[in-house]
Amino acid sequence: MFISPMLLHKTDEPFDSEDYITELKLDGIRLIYSVDNAGKVRLYSRHKNEITSKFPELHNLNIPPGTVLDGELIVSDNNGKPDFEAVMSRFMSSKDKSTITFVAFDVIEHKGVRIAMLPLLQRKEVLAEIVPTDNSLIAKTQFIEGNGEAYFDAIKAQALEGIVLKRKDSRYEVGKRSHSWLKVVNYQYDEVNIVGYRTTGKFGLLLTFDDGRYAGIMELGVPPLARKEIYGKPVIREEKKIAFIEPVKVRVKYRNLTKAGLLRLPSFVEWV
């Protein structure tokens, strides 16, 4: 059975509070792991797409009937860090045999009963009963109480994606984006050049590094006034549905550099 997952709000800075736990933000694919009362396993993406057939190794994890878990699918790199490109490759291609791990961080149903109204720490106890030991196929997200600032410093030093701060007493708010769960993303920053924009279809600004290398397309965070300013620049030429302009320097934030050397999810910060 599909249950629409609880979503996070974003906050810019980590904080310390005894009312919160702190978890690593895993760089993977959100997954709802459902076992009906007859013991049949179904896997769903956050958008209600059933993806059970894509991950046959996750069908027999000894999760008891009447259970619905929320978590993240990850593929770890050689250093044990979640690798988003690798998990997407595994998701998209049946030929990719990378080891997939389901990392559970919450329980929505237990023994056929919805437990979303229980406080988070009680649901964590239930999760520990359902998944008593971690292995290469299924694990639990580890957490600490408070210490968000120190935890964030530690993940920055390891170039990980970010942290999640969750109220200890939070209920599981099905299908809602809640301020009880807050993500802090470990953004990287750089100054690059806008050298063009899409002339049709989805909005996007063409980016290059200072040495002229292609850096990616920026679709996020560009305010209306900034778009207007770019659209007002003289067009040098048009080619393949891109209008090229003289370079305009901009500061962007992004998740990480892809294996191809591109900015992942670049977002506008300010003009330089």
Strands 41-44 and 29-35: antiparallel
Six token digits for residue 241: 């549905």
Task: Identify the burial level of 86 via C-beta atoms within 10 angstroms of its C-beta, where 0-12 means exposed, 13-18 middle and 19 or more buried.
Answer: buried
Beta strands in 76-141 (DSSP E): 101-110, 113-114, 138-140
Q: How many CB atoms lie within 10 A of CB 212?
A: 10
Are the C-beta atoms of 136 and 99 separated by less than 8 Å?
yes
In the residue annotation, 241 being an active-site residue is answered as no
Strands 101-110 and 138-140: parallel
CA distance 177 to 174: 9
Catalytic residue among 25, 140, 166, 168: 25
Q: Where in the sequence numbering do the catalytic residues fall?
A: 25
